[in-house]
Structure 1
């Protein structure tokens, strides 16, 4: 290889090296700023192929996707001074690369910590003006929107980031508070159960009293109707007996004696009667005592 070829190779290698130092690519997943001697000369480098002065300009790249910031649970106080442990997360992304670089020097961990502090301040303020019921279920969606808007405004001003969403993963009471709450809930449930039982007993007494009254009325009406029916039956029977007696007094007397014999004999009872008494008149004399 002669000297001319060597020189050409060196020049070509130098051109390739300078070209690699002059051109760079920013992807759709990245956000970047271009620096010249440490000073920002391009606030927001868009995706695509770009040129920079070699050995003079530098490019700082940041993750442009939506990031999730998960922090440890924090304790807040409600408006009733009830402590709660809140586990929340923040979703955010860089929208102003220059402000983000100026605030954090491109350190994602530093940005995450500062964003957590802003989110905790927002949660603390929101919880401090609401009851436990409101933050748990009653106004939870509205609460999240208010906190997100507030933290988003602060995040844009302080860090150059957009807060996409803030969500609460869980709200737990401290153990010592949970025991008191469970005890109070059990007491309230027991009180309510006692009131319901008392109302039930009162209603049961009223139902029983009404049933007893209706039973007494029904029995009284049935007894009265039975007495009327029995009286009518006795009247009819007396009329029939009277008619039978008037038709044949001797036969009627004989038939009544047979009825008496049937009802008296064979019952196992002991009867002490004189053989010549009127009771045995038809047994002693077929003519019933008539000669």
Structure 2
């Protein structure tokens, strides 16, 4: 190997060694420097840092941002009245002490999330056991979340601190299990159907009352109108009779003739009427026979 090749190889080795001693800590992370498997230093500020090359020192990173843990367990919990409910919740938490976290929890965020899930579920179970379903969906829901947050905080700040802070605990859903939910829906549907039938019955009864009242008013109105009409008609007939009597009293012969004409009109004035009588043997056609210019009646045989 010539002199220039040796120099080039040496430069590459030096660059490699230099690169293994440099590391960058992002503003979203903690940098944890290990020396022979033990935590040597924790870098909390972002920037370029130095360490010994492997295997003397190694570096790992832990997220320092606000983390969210969502519930993944669908096992039902028991309330104070022994009702089985399914809940959904989430927890907002962050790592504040990487050394305590690594010693007591694990090397990454997933280890903390796994253990935190167990603690939060146990806290919810304990608090829900003390409350009824009605309290879970009422104003006591806020006190439930506050109590769970307090219990979880006490657990992670205990004899062996986890090195994390619990920022918030929220209960997003509390519902019956599927079998109970179906039964509740059926009861609600039956109750609504009962109320609907009651309203229909009440409405039908009121409708019958209104209809009966309207029919009664109609009958009364018609009867009153008929009574008034009969009074008017009676008065008119009486007045007409008086006028006819006065007029016909002046000329009885004309009155008889006039009534005969009305009788003819009523009897033979319609199309298709057939009347079989003997004009000479009845007084019905007397007015016609006595009319001026009328033909004499045929002699009876």
Would you say same fold, with TM above 0.5?
A: yes
1:197 matched to which residue of 2? 200
Alpha-carbon distance, 1:69 to partner = 3.4
Judging by fraction of residues, say which structure has more helix: 1
The range that moved more, 163-172 or 188-197, is 163-172
Q: Which residue of structure 2 lines up, in the alignment, with residue 50 of structure 1?
A: 49
Q: Which residue of 2 aligns with 1:93?
A: 94
Q: Does 1:113 align with 2:109?
A: no
**CA distance in 1 between partners of 2:10 and 2:43 (Å):** 36
Match of 2:82 in 1: 81
8 Å CA contact retained: 1:152, 1:162: no
**Unpaired runs of at least 5, structure 1:** none
Q: What residue ranges of structure 2 are gaps of 5+ in the alignment? A: 293-301
Q: For the residues of structure 2 that align with 1:130 and 1:243, how far apart are their CA atoms?
A: 104
* Contact 2:135-2:141 at 8 Å conserved across structures: no
- Check if 1:209 corresponds to 2:197: no
Once the two structures are superposed, residues 90-111 of structure 1 have per-residue CA deviations (whole angstroms, 9 ceiling, x without a partner) of 4433233233222213243321
Partners in 1 of 2:96 and 2:10 — Cα distance? 43
Question: Taking structure 1 as reference, are residues 279 and 28 closer, same or farther at Cα in structure 2, changes over 3 Å only?
Answer: same
TM-score if structure 2 supplies the norm length? 0.73
Q: Secondary structure at the match of 1:74?
A: coil
Question: Is the 1:148–1:163 Cα contact (8 Å) retained in structure 2?
Answer: no
Report how far residue 133 of structure 1 moved.
Answer: 5.7
Q: Find the counterpart in structure 1 of residue 23 from structure 2.
A: 24
Distance 2:124 2:246 in 1: 107
Distance 2:76 2:145 in 1: 20
Answer whether contact 1:148 1:165 (CA < 8 A) is retained.
no
Q: How much has 1:269 moved relative to structure 2?
A: 7.0
- Secondary structure of the residue aligned to 1:213 is helix
**CA spacing shift, 1:271–1:91, aligned 2, 3 Å:** farther
Cα gap change, 1:155/1:38 in structure 2, threshold over 3 Å: closer, same or farther? farther
